[in-house]
Amino acid sequence: MSNREVVLQAEHVTKVYRRGVIGSTTLRADIQTKWAKLRGKEDPNSIIGSVKTLPEGAFCAVDDVSFTARKGERIGLIGRNGAGKSTLLKLICRITAPTDGRIMYNGRVTSMLEVGTGFHPELTGRENIYLNGSIMGMSRSEIAKRIDDIVEFAEIGEFVDTPVKRYSSGMYVRLAFSVSAHLNADIVIMDEVLAVGDVQFQQKCIARMREIAETDNKTIIYVSHNMETVRSLCDRCMVMDHGRLIYDGNVATAESIYRGELTAKNGRNYEENSAHRHLKADRSVKILKAEYPDGQSEKTGDTLYTRLRWVYQEDVEDLHFRIEIRSGPGRTAASSMVYDLPGGKAGQQMEAVFETDISSLQNGHYITTYVMVHIPESRVNVTADLVDGLSFLIRDPQRESRMIWNAGAWSRVQLPGRLESIREVTGDEE
């Protein structure tokens, strides 16, 4: 982690807005303040002994935020409405300038802050792709090499030469995301944009963001209130509250702070005291593959079989696994029982088949997420690996005639199951 190249560094970044007021009191005062800042001198218009005091009618949207982002990191940014997340992203994207502090870059930045940001409504989808690429400093030939992939990913092939003002919000999102994910940028910024897309496209986007971080070594900064997508994508998470960065560390602890289950102070104490605090960057376990042994995604019976393969990236004494089942974005319908698995040595690969009772689920389409958890010598769980898995369809006429658990209306349910088999995988097996 520490050896990765720094691509973005924010130092004591502050942004102050004044409600209904442009500039300072006079042009002369604004020039004095700017000139003093350039020379590193004290602001001659500030009140003596109260540098942090805000002018009347002003508020601090981002307050003294510092952090570093490195190549290949997938960083979540969470917080309640008004916490300053979107303002911080606008500062990173240079849409607005900080009142104080500085942000240093080592690479290109592409962003998707709102649906259709950067698109000209009168231009076609193809023309907007070239426009966005040109803004990023790419040549026409560079964009031409990527345009087919962009159009294919966005799934708008027959409408690519239609003015984007005629696009639906879903088409906007697909094209805007595809442009951001395929153009030649080192830092990709996403602000709560996947909420508009359908479930399948969200899964596709998360897989793509993970791919560009791991394979292309790009840095992702992702803002969302949907903690399932944050857990699925990010290996590090920052929490903001009232403009301040109150926590920067592993996703599990950040989520607990966000939900009010753990204070930022306790979260930091855990990070400082845990011998496994670096798991957010160097996971002890990595899931390699998930599949259905029967190869079928349509289920007519009461049992879901899942075959999972993982590798220990360091020595692990114990391991725990569960399957989360969602009926839609942000809607966890059910989860399997927690399976206790044996530990292993670094480099060792294991494969197991899990049997889950899905008789209590209604007919419909479901998406699975696989969670591997390593519990160190602490009562706080550290997520070792969490990946989006497969989707399946329950289509069973017999379910229509019996009373079953409506997970969507009555909250989630824990599904019984068992570990059917487990074995070590040899090096010559695919």
30 with 52, same domain: the answer is yes
Q: Helix, strand, coil proportions of the chain in percent (round to 5)?
A: 30, 35, 35
Residue 132 lies in a domain: yes
274 with 290, same domain: the answer is no
Indicate the helix (H) or strand (E) that contains 154: helix 140-154
23 with 136, same domain: the answer is yes
pLDDT computed for residue 406 by the predictor: 47
pLDDT computed for residue 250 by the predictor: 82
Residue 335 lies in a domain: yes
The total number of structural domains in the chain stands at 2
Residue 93 identity (one-letter amino acid): C
Taking a C-beta distance cutoff of 8 angstroms, is the pair 295, 357 a contact? no
Give the range of the structural domain holding residue 303, as residue numbers without chain letter.
285-425
Owner of token pair 């259905």: 292
11 with 62, same domain: the answer is yes
Q: What are the tens digits of pLDDT across the range 77-132?
A: 998 888 889 889 889 988 888 888 889 988 888 777 765 566 888 889 899 888 88
335 with 378, same domain: the answer is yes
244 with 317, same domain: the answer is no
Taking a C-beta distance cutoff of 8 angstroms, is the pair 87, 61 a contact? yes
pLDDT computed for residue 318 by the predictor: 77
Residue 430 lies in a domain: no
229 with 357, same domain: the answer is no
3-class state of residue 382 by DSSP: strand
Residue 1 lies in a domain: no
CATH of the domain at 225: 3.40.50.300
224 with 366, same domain: the answer is no
- Number of CB atoms found within 10 A of residue 185's CB: 21
3-class state of residue 166 by DSSP: helix
117 with 140, same domain: the answer is yes
Q: How far apart are CA 109 and CA 145, in angstroms?
A: 19
pLDDT computed for residue 352 by the predictor: 93
pLDDT computed for residue 256 by the predictor: 77
pLDDT computed for residue 422 by the predictor: 92
Q: How far apart are CA 71 and CA 401, in angstroms?
A: 54
Residues 6+ away with beta carbon under 8 Å from 177: 112, 154, 190, 193, 194, 197, 205
Taking a C-beta distance cutoff of 8 angstroms, is the pair 125, 159 a contact? yes
Final residue before a domain boundary, out of 279, 298, 315: 279
Residue 376 identity (one-letter amino acid): P
Kind of pairing between the strands at 187-191 and 109-112: parallel
Residue 58 identity (one-letter amino acid): A
Final residue before a domain boundary, out of 279, 304, 336: 279
- Number of CB atoms found within 10 A of residue 71's CB: 18
Residues 6+ away with beta carbon under 8 Å from 169: 115, 196
Q: Averaged in consecutive runs of 10 residues, what is the pLDDT profile of the chain (430 residues)?
A: 76 80 61 78 60 60 90 89 87 87 86 69 89 79 88 87 85 81 81 65 78 82 82 86 87 78 48 36 72 83 88 83 74 79 88 89 82 60 57 77 47 77 79
Residue 201 lies in a domain: yes
Q: Which phi and psi (to 5°) does residue 128 adopt? A: -70, -30
CATH of the domain at 408: 2.70.50.60
Residue 23 lies in a domain: yes
Taking a C-beta distance cutoff of 8 angstroms, is the pair 405, 364 a contact? no
Q: Which region holds residue 388: left if phi is over 0, alpha if psi is between -120 and 50, else beta?
A: beta
Final residue before a domain boundary, out of 279, 306, 326: 279
Compute the Cα dihedral for 97, 100, 106, 111 and give only its sign. negative
Indicate the helix (H) or strand (E) that contains 370: strand 364-374
- Number of CB atoms found within 10 A of residue 156's CB: 22
Owner of token pair 């239609």: 162
pLDDT computed for residue 232 by the predictor: 76
pLDDT computed for residue 25 by the predictor: 57
365 with 235, same domain: the answer is no
261 with 359, same domain: the answer is no
307 with 386, same domain: the answer is yes
3-class state of residue 335 by DSSP: strand
